[in-house]
Amino acid sequence: MKKILLSEDQLPDRWYNILPDLPEPLGPFLHPATLEPMGPADLAPLFPMAIIMQEVSADRWIDIPDPVRDIYRMWRPTPLYRADRLEKALDTPARIFFKYEGVSPAGSHKPNTAVPQAYYNAAEGIRRLATETGAGQWGSALAFAGALFDVEVFVYMVRISYDQKPYRRALMETWGAQVAASPTDRTNFGRSVLQRDPTSPGSLGIAISEAVEEAATREDTHYSLGSVVNHVLLHQTVIGLEAVKQMEIAEAYPDVVIGCVGGGSNYAGLAYPFVAERLSGRHPRTRFVAAEPAACPTLTRGVYAYDFGDTAGMGPVVPMHTLGHNFVPDPIHAGGLRYHGDAPSLCTLVRLGIVEPRAYMQNECFAEAVRFARTEGFLPGPEPAHALRAVAEEAQAAKEAGEARTILVNLSGHGHFDMSAYDAYFAGRLEDVALPQERIDSALAELPPVPALTS
Amino acid sequence: MKKILLSEDQLPDRWYNILPDLPEPLGPFLHPATLEPMGPADLAPLFPMAIIMQEVSADRWIDIPDPVRDIYRMWRPTPLYRADRLEKALDTPARIFFKYEGVSPAGSHKPNTAVPQAYYNAAEGIRRLATETGAGQWGSALAFAGALFDVEVFVYMVRISYDQKPYRRALMETWGAQVAASPTDRTNFGRSVLQRDPTSPGSLGIAISEAVEEAATREDTHYSLGSVVNHVLLHQTVIGLEAVKQMEIAEAYPDVVIGCVGGGSNYAGLAYPFVAERLSGRHPRTRFVAAEPAACPTLTRGVYAYDFGDTAGMGPVVPMHTLGHNFVPDPIHAGGLRYHGDAPSLCTLVRLGIVEPRAYMQNECFAEAVRFARTEGFLPGPEPAHALRAVAEEAQAAKEAGEARTILVNLSGHGHFDMSAYDAYFAGRLEDVALPQERIDSALAELPPVPALTS
């Protein structure tokens, strides 16, 4: 157990924007109604101008505002650990390092973007944000950030989570947010869903549609989201920029960089500064492994196409790996990995063979989470448990090759609010069900009428 | 928000033992059967010799073993924060600093002693520990420590908590501990309780008796406890020793040091190094405020007497403020503050007027916990919420006096596993019931037949 800390004055003062370094440009977002490229004005009802500019910026470095850095300092720089006890348990010559984002007040990497989003909205006079949340991690991060910048937060929480996870709701309320079970009767789209199915359990896609509708129709309210889009990934690069310095202190450089992927933000946050090193040719051989759940295998079994980000088709149409915006994954416990698409920039890196995706069943992931807790002490969330599964594979590969490879992984959050999942795991109640291809095919039949992309 | 960090090489290498500095010696522990003073041999079935020697040591400084410091480094030194946002919300000229122990893997200060206890037992060849837990904080800390030193941990968990808090149980199991609902049919005492009342909800006193019985009757098993006794408070002084250095960096010295008190270990841990400064005359005017729940007012309404630490009367008889070993407090949510007695050294400081105890109702404490979460971001556990209530009082007093007093408080743990309490608070379901004197009197009628102590 070796901890590598940075001092506060080593907190990065800029985020890294990968867009200008990508080998090929991202396709533009399309307007959901016209399917024509969107301009900044189209996004103005949803986002503050500072964020819209970041979304399409061609600048490699973007300054982190001082008030955001002041809040980051509550828990940043986060520690990087050498996991020598895990190495021993895995009986591997590999050296394993993990970056631990669970030290934030909300318990995950999500505040890295929630804080600047609340800040930029407040700076432009917006005092109310609407958002969605599935398992509750993003909603609680934005509730936390809203409390600090005096911005009201309204959270559409997927009904099944609202009913099953009252503690996540209570956490958001403690930070002052209002939380409603989605679908609600507050929005046109919510009402239309309830009319068809009064007992709808909701879905992330529905909740996004409700939050977008509220922001689009209320002058005083903007929308905020926690993954997928460029500005979110940008904000998360504070993780990787710190990790670069910490690996230097450790006198090591990763042979492989690993993380779990839902929308892609925690993985991009850690990986992109190292991807930049590969793209520039300074470290051309680093490998990048993205771990996703077999129940929601966007990168391994999705298609690369333009698709809606939300169920109602009210938000931008985005080029990405997708299982179809109507795909509803099985109720696995890694709630943060149950999104039907992925960040466009990450999809580009997958298509180019720079990032290698792998899909895992949840029991094998929980087995690694338990091994981690018993060796390294910290209790992983179900999402980074997927990344730990990939770590175990890479550690085994290093052993077979007889090489002391260096592995770097993002432990993106703790599992304190996910003990029911551990409980189910120990009781043998966690299901590993194969995902039939028909379910993917039927969801993919409903893609928007945009010409197919080359994949 | 200002964070004061220490580097790893500033981690203390010695614990501070207050015993030689106390203005009057502590009375000895008495054997539960003979009521005669106990010697080291009497304690040998329960504890390793290194811990027995620490329990009665007259040395002011005791070295922290390197393997313990290696584990401490997973989360220590812990941060000290200047709570400037809370100061503003309280509209006070006071400067408020909080030491944050919630960064440990188990989420509280408890691992500070669980780790050395597991270490010393392992070092003397003991590979199995029995202990009790109420709400689960101590049990999870020892489960964590046991995992790291390859020591099996068996936890007697109060049945009502076992049934109501399955997630704390799952946490202990994740770290590899075995957990049973107490009273069990594993021990003579447990069976006797079940015979009288097959549906007994259990109590901390019963669970202690079961764990002590198991340790006393099994050759391979020792006992471990999480508060009250001297060696536990000794281990916790790592908190205050760090805080002394951090206050120096902040160029401040506390006018008042605040913490919550169940058995007394987190408060003593922070306060004793500052108490030493007062006793030595170097800082003679520092005040010390101990916050306890009105539902279990040991220091404010208990008597100072020799009493059993456990219900069955199997453990040592200890001189302390007590509500009687049969006192069962109302089921308030601050599970860590529901013990009938207090640490003897802390009781001595209360009797001498050095530590001032105050009792609070739970709703007023939760109100402060919510204010804290919305200003300083971190979510306090229900126990340190009591300390925050005292902080608010002291901040108000400073305002009335027009003085920029310096307040230091121990935020001993987070509330991630206590969201049901926050939920109940927001729903108006938290009860504040006055404790009738008759309940205290009737429990105090059953003290062991030891001559009364002067109080």
Give the pLDDT of residue A330.
86
Q: Is A416 on the interface with B (CB under 8 A)?
A: yes
Give the pLDDT of residue B452.
67
SS3 A187: coil
Local confidence band at B341 (pLDDT 50, 70, 90 cut-offs) = very high
Average pLDDT of chain A? 95
* CB-CB under 8 Å, B1 with A73: yes
Distance CA B398, CA A312 (A): 56
Q: Which of A81, A171, A379 sits opposite B419 (nearest CB)?
A: A171
Q: Mean per-residue pLDDT for B50-55?
A: 96
B449, pLDDT greater than 90: no
* CB-CB under 8 Å, B373 with A420: no
A:193-212 residues touching chain B, CB 8 A cutoff: none
Give the pLDDT of residue B1.
56
Q: Is B185 on the interface with A (CB under 8 A)?
A: no
Residues of B in Cβ contact (< 8 Å) with A173: 422, 426
Pairing of strands B61-63, A128-133: unpaired
**Interface with chain B: mutation pick from A74, A137, A140, highest number of B CBs within 10 Å:** A74
Give the pLDDT of residue B160.
87
Which chain B residue shows the shortest CA-CA distance from A169?
Answer: B423
* CB-CB under 8 Å, B70 with A167: no
For chain B, give the percent of residues with pLDDT over 90. 88
For chain B, give the percent of residues with pLDDT over 70. 99
pLDDT in tens, B363-396: 999 999 999 999 999 999 999 999 999 999 999 9
Q: What are the structural domain ranges in chain B? A: 66-107+231-444
Residues of A in Cβ contact (< 8 Å) with B175: 373-374
* CB-CB under 8 Å, A167 with B420: yes
Residues of B in Cβ contact (< 8 Å) with A374: 147, 174-176
Q: Taking a C-beta distance cutoff of 8 angstroms, is the pair A260, A386 a contact?
A: yes
Residues of A in Cβ contact (< 8 Å) with B72: none
Distance CA B211, CA B252 (A): 44
pLDDT in tens, B273-306: 999 999 999 999 999 999 999 999 999 999 999 9
Local confidence band at B3 (pLDDT 50, 70, 90 cut-offs) = very high
Residues of A in Cβ contact (< 8 Å) with B414: 416
Architecture per CATH, B66-107+231-444: 3-Layer(aba) Sandwich (3.40)
pLDDT in tens, B23-38: 999 999 999 999 999 9
Give the pLDDT of residue B22.
97
Give the pLDDT of residue A373.
98
Q: Which amino acid is at B249?
A: I
Q: Is B367 on the interface with A (CB under 8 A)?
A: no
Give the pLDDT of residue A1.
57
Nearest chain A CA: its distance from B67 CA (Å): 11
pLDDT in tens, A365-374: 999 999 999 9
B451, pLDDT greater than 80: no
pTM of the model: 0.96
**Interface with chain A: mutation pick from B7, B162, B174, B366, highest number of A CBs within 10 Å:** B174
For chain A, give the percent of residues with pLDDT over 90. 88
pLDDT in tens, A170-198: 999 999 999 999 999 999 999 999 999 99
Average pLDDT of chain B? 95
Local confidence band at A452 (pLDDT 50, 70, 90 cut-offs) = low
* CB-CB under 8 Å, A166 with B377: no
Give the pLDDT of residue B166.
84
User: Residue A313 CB: number of other CB atoms within 10 A?
Assistant: 17
Local confidence band at A332 (pLDDT 50, 70, 90 cut-offs) = confident
Highest mean pLDDT among A204-208, A369-373, B201-205: A369-373
**Interface with chain A: mutation pick from B374, B426, B430, highest number of A CBs within 10 Å:** B374
* CB-CB under 8 Å, B74 with A377: yes
Q: Which of B1, B171, B419 sits opposite A170 (nearest CB)?
A: B419
Q: Mean per-residue pLDDT for A425-433?
A: 92
pLDDT in tens, A106-160: 999 999 999 999 999 999 999 999 999 988 999 999 999 999 999 999 999 999 8
Q: Mean per-residue pLDDT for B203-217?
A: 93
A453, pLDDT greater than 80: no
Give the pLDDT of residue B315.
86
Give the pLDDT of residue B274.
98
Which chain B residue shows the shortest CA-CA distance from A86?
Answer: B148
Give the pLDDT of residue B203.
87
